[in-house]
Chains A and B, each alone.
Chain A
Amino acid sequence: MSEVLKAVIVMAVITYAIRLVPIALFTSKIKSKFVKSFLFYTPFAVLGAMTFPGILYSTGNIYFSMAGTLAAIITAYCERGLFKVAVSAVSVAAILGYIF
């Protein structure tokens, strides 16, 4: 088996195990108000931490990335959905890259 294939299998197994264990084990409801609130805020926190500052380094030019970020925030504020937001950010970064 090639080294690459081994690595891909390792990636898949670890990623799946992480997703599987909690959902398979916790079949009863958690009572603690703190834990429930904590879990409610998790998606916002994790997405926020992953987006920023990572997004500034996503196109190879920090200024084009900033402009793309701004475009994404404006389209997202108008609640245009995932696809349009992604396309607007990519377009702005690409157009600026083309001009400068």
Chain B
Amino acid sequence: MNGYYNIGSRLDKNSLDDFKLGFRQGIPVMMGYIPVSFTFGLLAVQGGLDIWMAVLISMTNLTSAGQFAGMNLIVSNASLTEISAAMFVINIRYMLMSLSLSQKLAPMLSIFKRSAIAFGITDEIFAIASLEKRVITFPYMMGLILTPYWGWAFGTLLGAVSTSLLPPLLQNSMGIALYAMFIALLVPAAKHSKAALIVIAIAVIISSIFKWMPVLNHVSGGWAIIISTIFASAAGAVLFPREDENIE
């Protein structure tokens, strides 16, 4: 996965250097989060939530797909049970990411520090951290999480207050921002690694089957993602087993 992220990929023993490295890698994530959280703030207020409630959701959840789904359920007066179940299914992928990241952390890291890192596990932050070549430290993760977190909150606020200002056409088009960000992470990986390309292709094919195949299209989106992820990752592990811890 060489060149997956062009920013310097070396962790230093020095805490400040680690923090700075994480901070630098976090900036593009923050930039990508602004249009997406902006869209979230916009849709939440359009749906009838207060501005501060939209910002509170972003600051306590820090998750794209989960927040959009949860917000839609709140707006349509769903029960707490339904909201809980939906959150669990949509966000269960974080369990795999958290498990994966636990393998890259220094084993001596305290439970407090692990708890702080856990809060910041998003698709993009995880993708960057997991492609880092060396053991992941606490200062590195804090640097990496910092600007995306505040960018996510700030973007939500901007979107929430500008609901009445933006033309509806642009409001519709903003919906693609979240997915474009995923593409920005996937395409360079697929370009540099045949294994990644094939795993991505398998995941896309299975999730498309769940969307368009009769009978199977009754499976909820959250479960479809989980099943696709498990199949595609297992296929990758069988077809292209990893020889060692290196990312290369």
Question: Of the candidates B6, B93, B102, B242, which one forms a contact with A23 in the assembled complex, judged by CB atoms under 8 Å apart?
Answer: B102
Tell me which residues from 17 to 52 in chain A have a Cβ below 8 Å from any Cβ of chain B. Answer: 18-30, 33-52
Question: Of the candidates B70, B92, B105, which one forms a contact with A18 in the assembled complex, judged by CB atoms under 8 Å apart?
Answer: B92
Closest to A80 in B: B184
Contact residues of B: prevailing secondary structure? helix
Contact residues of A: prevailing secondary structure? helix
Binary A-proximity of B171-202 (CB < 8 A = 1, otherwise 0): 01111111111111111111100011001111
Chain A residues within an 8 Å CB radius of B181: 82, 85-86
Chain B residues within an 8 Å CB radius of A81: 28, 31-32, 184
Q: Which size class do B's interface residues fall under?
A: 35 or more
Q: Are A48 and B203 in contact (CB under 8 A)?
A: yes
Q: Are B114 and A23 in contact (CB under 8 A)?
A: yes
Binary A-proximity of B208-247 (CB < 8 A = 1, otherwise 0): 1001100000000100110011111110111011100100
Q: Known contacts A10-B84, A11-B83, A16-B119: does B179 contact A4 (CB below 8 Å)?
A: no
Binary A-proximity of B152-188 (CB < 8 A = 1, otherwise 0): 0000000000000000011011111111111111111
Q: Are B117 and A45 in contact (CB under 8 A)?
A: no
Q: Are B207 and A41 in contact (CB under 8 A)?
A: no
